[in-house]
Amino acid sequence: MNLTKFKAAAVQASPVFLNAKATTDKACNIIAEAAKNGASLLAFPEVFISAYPYWNWIMTPVQGSRWYEKLYVNSINVPGPETEMLCNAARENNCHVVIGVNERGQSFGELYNTNLIIDNHGNIVGKHRKLVPTWAEKLTWTGGDGSSLKVYNTEIGPIGTLACGENTNTLARFALLAQGELIHIANYISLPVAPPDYNMAEAIKIRAAAHSFEGKVFTIVSCSTISKEIIEMMKEDVPNAEELLTRKDSAFTGFIGPNGAVIGEPLIDEEGIVYADIDLAKCIQPKQMHDILGHYNRFDIFDLRVNTAPRKNITFTDDEESLQKEK
């Protein structure tokens, strides 16, 4: 059994807002920097390429419609030119990368909130589409299906990922743990428009700690920030955008160990890259007490079924085939 030790990195940063090419360039530079500092795995924020739809929260749906069009134009195809750049950067720097993107769907105008998993050889080994867009996000993204609820085996270990609010979905998290997940990537966006008594950074940490403690895994959290550029662009329609989008404790980026404790010092609100040494052997001992995937469960009582079939929008049959089935 290969239990690896490696250095991981998580970035807290904002994209070049609504500019897929420039944000991809920025991501590639960050990959090179993290790898130079010894990272074998780098986690990026949710929909880092190339924007989170903040307009859904501070504008009416009618006002936000033109911003949706801008987002679609600056989203990407998977695979496509932007993913080729990311894959080349991962390969050239011998670094695994998990990054959030706005992915164009098959229908013109359709978008998915997608996390790409790229290995150190420059291969897209998987992608996860956010299952349920949260609250106002439903104005932007289509929900994914069970086919992307997977754990991917890599040279550094088995990686799974969920985006933002999905990390509160107990069944989705268990589905990943049951597939042998040991490295969980939880990526988020800074959300200063939450209720006044809601500490977003603390909420992110609690969710990450819950998953790590329950599953005895490492959780790597990457969160975006809101740049002055984003605020200035939002002012085009919302003059008080700075007031609405500026708030302390909106972003948390860091690492949680299998015991549920934070490793090192996380980043709160500030941009930067944080690093941690990961030793997957530390996932073993905690399971002796609580292994919800084995001895500390009752699968004769509980039965979770996951539909992993890709969703089909339409099925075509000809008349002859239909007649044969009827016979």
Task: Point out the residues that are catalytic.
Answer: 46, 130, 164
Sheet of 272-279, strand order: 124-129, 111-118, 96-104, 41-43, 5-12, 272-279
Report the candidate in 124, 136, 126 with the shortest Cα–Cα distance to residue 165.
136
Residue 116 Cα distances to 129, 193, 217, 316, angstroms: 9, 27, 20, 31
| Contact status, residue 98 vs residue 43, Cβ threshold 8 Å | yes
**Helix, strand counts (H, E) of the chain:** 9, 12
Residues 150-178 as b or e (16 or more Cβ within 10 Å = b): bbbebebbbbbbbbbbbbeeeebbbbbbe
β-bridge pairing 124-129 and 262-268 = unpaired
User: Tokens representing 321?
Assistant: 């085939």
DSSP secondary structure letters along 156-174: TEEEEEEEGGGGG-HHHHH
Residues 9-35 as b or e (16 or more Cβ within 10 Å = b): bbbbbbbbbbbbeebbebbbebbeebb
DSSP code for 84: H
Using CA atoms, how far apart are residues 291 and 139, in angstroms rounded to an integer?
39
Helix 170-177 and helix 200-215: axis angle, to 10°?
40
Three-point CA angle 159, 161, 162, nearest 5°: 165
User: Tokens representing 87?
Assistant: 């894959």
- What is the CA 202 to chain-centroid distance, rounded? 18
Torsion of CA 171, 177, 179, 180, to 10 degrees: 180
